[in-house]
Amino acid sequence: MKSTTKKLSETKVEVKVTLDGADLKPAREEALNQLAKNVKIQGFRQSKAPASMVEKNVDPNAISEREIDIAVRASMAKAFADEKLNLIAIEKVDVTKFVPDESAEYTAIVEVLPEVKLGDFKKLKAKMEKTEPSTKDVQEIVDNIVSAYAEKKAVKRPAKDSDEVIIDFVGKKDGEAFAGGTAKDYHLVLGSNSFIPGFETGIVGHEPGDKFDLNLTFPKDYPEKSLAGQKTIFEVLLKQVNEVVKPKEDDELAKKCGDFKNMDELRADIKKNLEAQNRHRALEKYRDDLVNELAKSSKVAAPDILINDQLRFIRNDMSRNGASYGLSLEKYVERLGQTMEEWEKQARELAEARVKASLVLQILAREQKIEVAEEEVEAKIAELKDAYKKSKEALKQLKQPEVRQDIKNRMIIDKAMDFLVEANGGHEEADQKSTKKSSKKA
């Protein structure tokens, strides 16, 4: 067997393989053995007839087709190994010459992992975002707590700002109700700016039992393009006005929230929890930024087949999001203010970035000899089994070798990301930011 390669692109290679009689002989024998299982020859039990007898009783074309198929499959793996190709997928195979028992030639177009030349992974410019919450951040949580403990009392007076109202409404454009513009017994806090401009202010001054119309124009930049800039009428029934009585921000409120003696302790706890959340988000973003920066500074090409796989994942994820609102992918994209052409271009760029990020992490892991011990894999699988213990299908998949290997690969990639963070002082930076300013009060 002889093989040669021709580079078609950074990720595509043509492999030409030539086989001689010695290569084809075992393939023909195997073909006859396989065909013998379905041939009945007088005097022999099925599948026990000698090859010479099978050959006389089977269509020569069927033997030849089976022979070349077996020969190609058997030789292909060796050809790829001989040429040291990191195979991703076989695009197509063409048999260009075949003389049964004597010689054969075929070409295979294959997608391969590209050569990746890593940039300097120790000098990346990505920075951790600050993790200390501001006074405003803490106050927003306190305000939410105050609102949660607020008492609501039905009143017989005109509605005013900060009241909660219970309403029925129907939104119409050109006399027809439009999708998403109708609700019954809707609870709305006036002044929350939950609706388009003019809706909440239009309710102020009305009393329980009032029926009235609100003539409103949707903002020009409204996400739903069919409503953007359009004149509409909302038919509203004000059913109830609730006066919202908020508690004071005092030590008594703090005690209701948990084991706190005063508001200072509650605020300190809120700050601590916000900082932990901020640190987690900042670290995740920092990891992503480092990987993307490394990909940009590296020489790496993204194979089309991997990009298309990522595109399918992105499309399916987007379709599920749209379905949760009862919308097709096209309608959902339109609601987000994009054309399908714009979204597909953006999605492809994202898919390509993900593929490049994955490739540079794989090479980083290989060059730095980052591995995952089998006991770590076992521990992860045990964790997944516990999480999916109610799903027989999931538990069945966890037993498959390819799924186990995929889990191991993901763990290696995760370790490579941690290595990248450590190499750029990320964990140290995050720890410094989280401890730089501690509370002065015990």
What pLDDT, in 10s, does the model give residues 227-264? 989 999 999 999 999 999 999 999 999 999 999 999 99
Q: How far is CA 178 from CA 84, 168, 169, 328, 372, in A?
A: 61, 15, 12, 17, 55
Q: Please spell the DSSP secondary structure of 389-413, one letter per residue.
A: TT-HHHHHHTTSHHHHHHHHHHHHH
pLDDT of residue 91: 87
Cβ neighbours for 240, distance < 8 A, ≥ 6 positions apart: 154, 165, 166, 208
Query: Cα-flanking dihedrals φ and ψ of residue 178, to 5°?
Result: -105, 155
Range in 27-36, 144-153, 300-309, 374-383 with the lowest mean pLDDT: 27-36
pLDDT of residue 327: 87
pLDDT of residue 51: 55
pLDDT of residue 251: 95
pLDDT of residue 63: 81
What pLDDT, in 10s, does the model give residues 104-156? 999 999 988 888 899 999 889 999 999 999 999 999 999 999 999 999 999 99
Take residue 404 and report the two structure tokens written for it: 């186990």
Q: Would the pLDDT of 440 be above 80?
A: no
| Nearest partner of 114 among 402, 424, 359, 364, judged by Cα | 359
pLDDT of residue 114: 84
pLDDT of residue 22: 92
What pLDDT, in 10s, does the model give residues 39-48? 665 555 555 5
What pLDDT, in 10s, does the model give residues 291-315? 999 999 999 988 888 899 999 999 9
* Alpha carbons 121 and 291: distance in angstroms, whole number: 9
Query: Cα-flanking dihedrals φ and ψ of residue 391, to 5°?
Result: -110, 110
pLDDT of residue 40: 63
Look up the pTM and report it: 0.67
pLDDT of residue 442: 34
Q: Would the pLDDT of 38 be above 70?
A: no
pLDDT of residue 426: 63
Q: C-alpha angle with apex 431: 430 to 437, nearest 5 degrees?
A: 100
Find the mean pLDDT for residues 275-297. Answer: 94
pLDDT of residue 39: 60
Residue 335 pLDDT grade (very low, low, confident, very high; cuts 50, 70, 90)? confident
Q: Would the pLDDT of 403 be above 90?
A: no
Q: What is the 3-state secondary structure of 114-128?
A: CCCECCCCCCCCCCC
pLDDT of residue 53: 59
Residue 344 pLDDT grade (very low, low, confident, very high; cuts 50, 70, 90)? very high
